[in-house]
Amino acid sequence: MRAPTAPARRLPRFSLRRIAAVLGKEFIQMRRDRVTFALILGVPLMQLLLFGFAINNDPKHLPTAVSISDPGAFSDSIVAALNTSGYFDVVSATNSPETARRLLAEGKVSFVVEIPANFSRDLVRGTNPELLIQADATDPASSSNAVGALGELATDALRDDLIGPLAVRAPQRPSFTAVIHRLYNPEIITQWNIVPGLLGIILTMTMVLMTSMALTRERERGTYENLLAMPTTPVEIMIGKILPNIVVGLIQAVIVLLAAKFIFKVPMIGSLPLLFGVLVIFIAANLAVGYTFSTIAESQLQAMQMMVFFLLPAILLSGFAFPFRGMPVWAQWVGEVLPVTHFLRVVRGILLQGNGAAEIWPDVWPLLLFMFGMMTVALLRFRRTLD
Amino acid sequence: MSNGELAIDVHGLTKRFGTKVAVNRADIQVPVGEVWGFLGPNGSGKTTTIRMLCGLLRADEGSGTVLGFDFRAQPEQIKREVGYMTQRFSFWEDLSIRENLEFVARVYGLPNVKEVVTAQIERLGLIKRQDQLAGDLSGGWKQRLALAACMLHQPKMLLLDEPTAGVDPKARRDFWDEIHRLSDEGLTVLVSTHYMDEAERCDRIVYINLGDIVARGTVAGVIEQSGLHTFVVQGEGARALAPQLHGKPGVDFVAFFGAALHVSGRDPAKLKAALEPFAQQKGLTIQESKPSLEDVFIQLQEKGRGAYA
């Protein structure tokens, strides 16, 4: 006797009661899992403190050595100007260029400013002496603003000294002045950009992690077999496992936003309800990614490794770590696929620019598309048997 | 039920994992209300067969019905009518007894979840432990919980995969009393086990070796079919005889049963001849006896090993 080649498979009914059952079970398990709880609260706080306080794309008070081969009033003015710029802290003043250079090589200072012999004489004579500035450019991003400030310094530092007969030596004013308006973040406070961005990164990290464990944990503990032997359907299990984590994600978002407002004083111009609406979509999209991982991974360790693979591009290519427009085109395309890229635009747009629904829509539909796409993949991947 | 009296009626059940045949064209017909035992060495295909019957594994070949449903096309319907107890404890160790049972009750969509669960907890004498986490229970209590959970939705059939592994004798006895009570109420039970005393409590047994069903029937019938003759050697120096008898013509195998030696073979004349030289040895008694089920299983296992080695 042969079995029919294509057995008719009736789709099981979708039951809200069964979803509620899975949901209840997940909430109880989450409550009892202290490590997860620590993760929920610890990750956002830790990341906020690390990124929010420790990382600064516009570092100031960089240690600077000055080697003065021509002491005098001009040299004093230059040192004073360096200190008052805010970017430089003159920690060492020496008369030996070698000593200063050694400090730079040893990493004790980031800049060396050399005032050559006869600087004052040449300046007064008008032979345009040179001021040598050496910068530790191993991290170009961190020193670029300071180097920019040095350029302006040369024009301004000696203005007060070059008076009377020396006034002719004062640098010529440019025939026009470039006026730069720094919109949305006029003081270029890094945290205003980083803290909302962190919201996206923290949620990506914890949300993908939470659900990537969802099925692998059941599999490792042997409870998966039981779950499959009962009349629960893949959709019900997925919804039951994703919903509790949306609550977790929203709690994290509240923590980050409270810190943003009260610790980092990030302005919140736009609508918070709108932001939370997008947050739910973004959180669900990440949970769907994690859930898909958990249908593929055979162990919790594998699920964890997959999460790292997803997290790296999320940090590097989303515009969180580097300016999005500065990346090569292919990297921008990869970035466009990631939900966090769109979320960063939305959250910065709402908080800093006060964008409304119409302005953020171009970044909301890709989030929705990604979320539904991922959920479909997860359901297709879900195996209803142990084969 | 569409098949009259049969709870399980499957033919040619086959499962392959890669090139390995885990279950080879098994025919299983279990009448409603009977207790059937699945026996066989580890890795012989018992678990695979049970999983295919309740829709957890897809059969590569075979056809038939379980509880009147096409077991290949209607696994979801079968799942609702079957209570399946996994080999390894598979309830949630971070949920309490009550929470586990309530979860199961909700998933099966039972009405009055709280009352149903309370009744079940009371019936099993778990009332004092109902809020204890399942992970903190001993093996025996875990097994009770698992059985209680499997029975919650009042299935028509129980599939039990080595339910008494790692459970103490008293708990094992209680468990089997419960199984027989349920069977008297009309429940069909298919249980896999390694224990001979448990096998002897089954209405019928099926012996699987390397995916093939090599014996089936009542306990007496299987012993009968084996065509085996056994002599029991007892007394001083009985154990020392084992190496001497091993491999002699007519001696299929020699097994220790406590201080006694069971010497078995299918040719009674040759077997007798092999034992003849020792018959006069002082302090030794050699008696022909009915082979025990264990003798038969050792023979079946040896046969299987011989055929495939």
Tens digit of pLDDT for each residue in A296-323? 998 889 999 999 999 999 999 998 888 8
Per-residue pLDDT at A87? 81
The CA distance from B179 to the nearest CA of chain A, in Å, is 20
d(CA A320, CA A311): 12
> What distance lies between CA A42 and its chain's CA centroid?
18
A291, A199 Cβ separation under 8 angstroms: no
Residue A326 phi, psi dihedral angles, 5° rounding: -85, -5
Sorted by where each begins, the domain ranges of chain A are 16-55+188-381, 62-169
Find chain A residues with C-beta within 8 A of B94's C-beta: 28-29, 32-33
The strand pairing partners of B262, in sequence order, are: B232, B255
Residue B1 has pLDDT above 60, yes or no: no
| CATH match of A62-169 with 3.40.1710.10 | yes
Tell me the torsion sign for CA atoms A242, A244, A250, A252: negative
Nearest by CB to B107, from A10, A223, A232: name it: A232
Based on its alpha-carbon atoms, the radius of gyration of chain A, rounded to whole angstroms, reads: 29
* Contact state of A29 with B95 under an 8 Å Cβ cutoff: yes
Side-chain half-sphere CA neighbours of A2 within 13 A: 3
B121, B148 Cβ separation under 8 angstroms: yes
Cβ of B89 under 8 Å from any chain A Cβ? yes
Angle at A386 (CA atoms; ends A383, A387), nearest 5 degrees? 85
Per-residue pLDDT at A1? 37
Cβ of B81 under 8 Å from any chain A Cβ? no
Per-residue pLDDT at A3? 37
* Contact state of B90 with A226 under an 8 Å Cβ cutoff: yes
The CA distance from B147 to the nearest CA of chain A, in Å, is 13
B191, B262 Cβ separation under 8 angstroms: no
Residue numbers in chain A where pLDDT is lower than 50: 1-11, 173-175, 177
The DSSP output letter for A175 is: S
Q: pLDDT tens, A210-258? A: 899 888 999 999 999 999 999 888 899 999 999 999 999 999 999 999 9
Cβ of A7 under 8 Å from any chain B Cβ? yes
The DSSP output letter for A65 is: E
Per-residue pLDDT at A242? 94
User: Beta strands B69-70 and A132-135: pairing type?
Assistant: unpaired
What percentage of chain B exceeds 70 in pLDDT? 97
**Which of B65, B106, B136, B157 to mutate against chain A (most A CBs within 10 Å)?**
B106
**Which of A15, A16, A19, A25 to mutate against chain B (most B CBs within 10 Å)?**
A25
Per-residue pLDDT at A378? 92
Going by C-alpha positions, the residue among A169, A75, A76 that lies closest to residue A125 is: A169
Out of A58-62, B90-94, B244-248, pick the least confident.
A58-62
B38, B193 Cβ separation under 8 angstroms: yes
ipTM of the complex: 0.85
DSSP assignment of B272-301 equals HHHHGGGTTSTTEEEEEEPPPHHHHHHHHH
Going by C-alpha positions, the residue among B304, B287, B299 that lies closest to residue B234 is: B287
Helices B139-151 and B113-123, interaxial angle, to 10°? 140
**Which of B52, B76, B99, B113 to mutate against chain A (most A CBs within 10 Å)?**
B76
Find chain A residues with C-beta within 8 A of B54's C-beta: 229
Cβ of A147 under 8 Å from any chain B Cβ? no
Nearest by CB to A225, from B62, B80, B86: name it: B86
> What distance lies between CA B236 and its chain's CA centroid?
36
* Contact state of A223 with B11 under an 8 Å Cβ cutoff: no
Nearest by CB to B104, from A225, A230, A385: name it: A230
* Contact state of B12 with A1 under an 8 Å Cβ cutoff: yes
Per-residue pLDDT at B106? 94
* Contact state of A8 with B73 under an 8 Å Cβ cutoff: yes
Per-residue pLDDT at A155? 66
Cβ of B51 under 8 Å from any chain A Cβ? yes
d(CA A169, CA B179): 107
Q: pLDDT tens, B269-298? A: 999 988 888 888 888 889 999 998 989 988
* Contact state of B51 with A386 under an 8 Å Cβ cutoff: yes
Sorted by sequence, the CB contacts under 8 Å of residue B223 that are 6+ apart come out as B290, B291, B292, B293, B296
* Contact state of B76 with A231 under an 8 Å Cβ cutoff: yes
For the segment(s) B6-222, the CATH number from 3.40.50.300, 3.55.40.10, 1.10.3720.10, 2.60.120.380 is 3.40.50.300
d(CA B183, CA B177): 10
- Sequence ranges of chain B with CATH classification 3.40.50.300: 6-222
Per-residue pLDDT at A363? 94
DSSP assignment of chain B equals -TTTTEEEEEEEEEEEETTEEEEEEEEEEEETT-EEEEE-STTSSHHHHHHHHTTSS--SEEEEEETTEETTT-HHHHHHHEEEE-SS--S-TTSBHHHHHHHHHHHTT-SSHHHHHHHHHHHTT-GGGTTSBGGGS-HHHHHHHHHHHHHTT--SEEEEESTTTT--HHHHHHHHHHHHHHHHTT-EEEEE-S-HHHHTTSSEEEEEETTEEEEEE-HHHHHHHHT-EEEEEEETTTGGGHHHHTT-TT--EEEEETTEEEEEES-HHHHHHHHGGGTTSTTEEEEEEPPPHHHHHHHHHHHHHHHH-
Per-residue pLDDT at B3? 44
Sorted by sequence, the CB contacts under 8 Å of residue A265 that are 6+ apart come out as none
d(CA A106, CA A93): 16
Find chain A residues with C-beta within 8 A of B107's C-beta: 18, 21-22, 230-232
The architecture CATH gives domain B229-290: 2-Layer Sandwich (3.30)
d(CA A370, CA B8): 46
Nearest by CB to B86, from A9, A24, A226: name it: A226
d(CA A187, CA A203): 27
Per-residue pLDDT at A90? 87
Task: Name the amino acid, one letter, at A223.
Answer: T
Nearest by CB to B90, from A2, A22, A223: name it: A223
User: Beta strands B20-31 and B6-17: pairing type?
Assistant: antiparallel
Going by C-alpha positions, the residue among B161, B206, B151, B199 that lies closest to residue B54 is: B161
Find chain B residues with C-beta within 8 A of A28's C-beta: 94-95, 99
B107, A18 Cβ separation under 8 angstroms: yes
Going by C-alpha positions, the residue among A157, A178, A183, A179 that lies closest to residue A169 is: A157
Residue B232 has pLDDT above 80, yes or no: yes
Q: pLDDT tens, B153-192? A: 999 999 999 998 888 888 899 999 999 999 999 999 999 9
Find chain B residues with C-beta within 8 A of A29's C-beta: 92, 94-95
d(CA A24, CA A357): 34
Token pair belonging to A156: 């301004």
* Contact state of A21 with B63 under an 8 Å Cβ cutoff: no
Task: Name the amino acid, one letter, at A368.
Answer: L
Q: In what order do the strands lie in the sheet with B284-289?
A: B253-257, B260-265, B229-235, B284-289
Cβ of B108 under 8 Å from any chain A Cβ? yes
B191, B180 Cβ separation under 8 angstroms: no
Tell me the torsion sign for CA atoms B47, B53, B59, B62: positive
Cβ of A32 under 8 Å from any chain B Cβ? yes
- Please tell me whether residue A301 adopts helix, strand or coil conformation: helix
* Contact state of A21 with B90 under an 8 Å Cβ cutoff: no
d(CA B145, CA B121): 9
